[in-house]
Every structure is written in structure tokens, then in C-alpha cells.
């Protein structure tokens, strides 16, 4: 005959631990939510913690459920940690027993999406900036080429004028020479 194990009532501390674990997970989700703007998915501050906190933790935000479970406030820089609520690591089982697995999954997916979006937005902005710089360089080169052509034309005109002036000078010198050295005609 098989014996069925007797189930003991849960100790009161178990309910308290479960409640604290659930609150811890919700705090972590709130920290992630405060760093990501819901409408755009961008990594920007949307709470009183401000821009510096959001920027400081953006690379430290978890992108997988496993990372979320291991993530704790002690991993954050001291200057940031004092501005955020404390949170601890949690077990994967706790996510399921607290019925928060889907919430956590959505939060880490939002972080992943925000990182991809930030990277692609950054690339697009850099591409636009590079194109603008290239267009500016082309325009500046065209201006420089036009100026060079104009200066070459001015130089040709100036050389022609110099040649005319040199011929006049030579003519004047020869006249002066002729007048200063009178030729005796006998």
C-alpha cells in the first residue's frame, strides 16, 4: 500500500516571503518602465529619476528573463543606485508562482526593442549626417573650383595687362634712351 504524504500548512513567513518577492519583481519592472518611454520604445527618462539615471542604466537593463532574474540594484553605479528603489535577485520559479512571468517577458522585450530602435535610429541619424556632410563637401568643392577658375581668368587678364604695361615700359625706356643719347647727324 502506498502512503500519501501529509501536507503541512504553509508557515506564515512563506506568505511574507512570497509577498516580498512579488514586490521585488514589480519594483524591477517599474525601474525598467521608468527608463523606457512606452509610446516610442525609446530609452528615455519618464520619471523623476531623470535623464542621468536613465542614461546610466540603459546598458545595464536586462534583455532576457534570465538576466532579469539575476539583475539587482547592487549592480548599478552608486550614484544611480541611491536614486532608485532597492531590488534583489529572484528565482525563475518566483516569476511563475507570482504570475509575473508574462509581465517580465514584456519588460525585457521592451528593453530589447528599445536597444534595437536606438541603434537603428542612431544609424539613420548618422547616415543622414554623413550625407549632409558629403553634400556640404561637394558644394564646397564646387565653390572652390569655381573660385579657382575665376582666379585663373583674373590671372590671365592680369598677365595680359602686365605684358601691355611691360611693352609700354620698354617703349618709354627706348624713347628716354633715344632722347638722352642724341645722335649726331653730320
125-170 residue pLDDT tens:
777 778 888 888 888 899 999 999 999 999 999 999 999 999 999 9
How far is the C-alpha of 168 from the C-alpha of 174, rounded, in Å? 10
For residue 115, being part of any structural domain is answered with: yes
| pLDDT at residue 7 in the model | 73
pTM (two decimals): 0.55
Q: Is the pLDDT at 49 greater than 60, yes or no?
A: no
Residues 6+ apart with CB under 8 A from 185: none
What is the pLDDT confidence band of residue 182, given thresholds at 50, 70 and 90?
low
Confidence of residue 33 (pLDDT cuts 50, 70, 90): confident
Range name among 19-23, 45-49, 63-67 with the lowest pLDDT average? 45-49
Find, among 97, 122, 133, 158, the residue nearest to 43 by Cα.
122
Contacts of 174-178 spanning 24+ positions with Cβ under 8 A: none
Across residues 4-22, what is the average pLDDT? 79
Is 108 inside any structural domain? yes
In a domain, 146, yes or no: no
Predicted pLDDT at 159: 96
DSSP state letter for 73 = G
In a domain, 165, yes or no: no
Residue 183 lies in a domain: no
- Is residue 78 situated within a structural domain? yes
Q: What average pLDDT score do residues 79-101 get? A: 85
Do 33 and 61 meet the contact criterion of CB atoms below 8 Å apart? no
Tally of domains in the chain: 1
What is the Cα–Cα distance from 98 to 25, expressed in whole angstroms? 9
- Percent of the chain surpassing pLDDT 90: 25
Q: Give a yes or no: residue 66 inside a domain.
A: yes
Pair 91, 13: CB distance under 8 Å: no
More confident residue, 105 or 34: 105
- The residue segments making up the domain with residue 32 are 14-129
Amino acid at each position: 500500500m502506498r502512503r500519501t504524504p501529509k501536507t503541512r500548512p504553509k508557515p506564515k513567513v512563506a506568505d511574507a516571503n512570497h509577498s516580498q518577492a512579488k514586490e521585488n519583481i514589480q519594483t524591477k519592472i517599474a525601474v525598467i518602465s521608468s527608463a523606457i518611454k512606452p509610446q516610442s520604445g525609446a530609452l528615455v527618462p519618464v520619471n523623476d529619476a531623470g535623464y542621468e539615471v536613465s542614461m546610466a542604466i540603459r546598458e545595464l537593463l536586462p534583455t532576457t528573463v534570465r538576466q532579469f532574474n539575476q539583475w539587482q540594484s547592487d549592480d548599478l553605479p552608486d550614484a544611480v543606485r541611491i536614486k532608485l528603489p532597492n531590488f534583489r535577485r529572484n528565482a525563475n520559479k518566483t516569476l511563475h508562482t507570482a504570475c509575473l512571468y508574462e509581465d517580465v517577458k514584456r519588460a525585457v522585450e521592451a528593453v530589447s526593442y528599445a536597444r534595437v530602435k536606438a541603434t537603428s535610429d542612431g544609424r539613420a541619424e548618422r547616415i543622414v549626417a554623413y550625407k549632409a556632410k558629403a553634400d556640404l563637401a561637394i558644394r564646397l568643392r564646387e565653390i572652390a573650383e569655381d573660385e579657382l577658375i575665376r582666379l585663373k581668368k583674373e590671372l590671365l587678364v592680369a598677365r595680359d595687362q602686365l605684358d601691355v604695361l611691360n611693352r609700354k615700359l620698354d617703349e618709354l625706356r627706348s624713347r628716354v634712351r633715344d632722347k638722352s643719347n642724341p645722335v649726331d647727324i653730320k
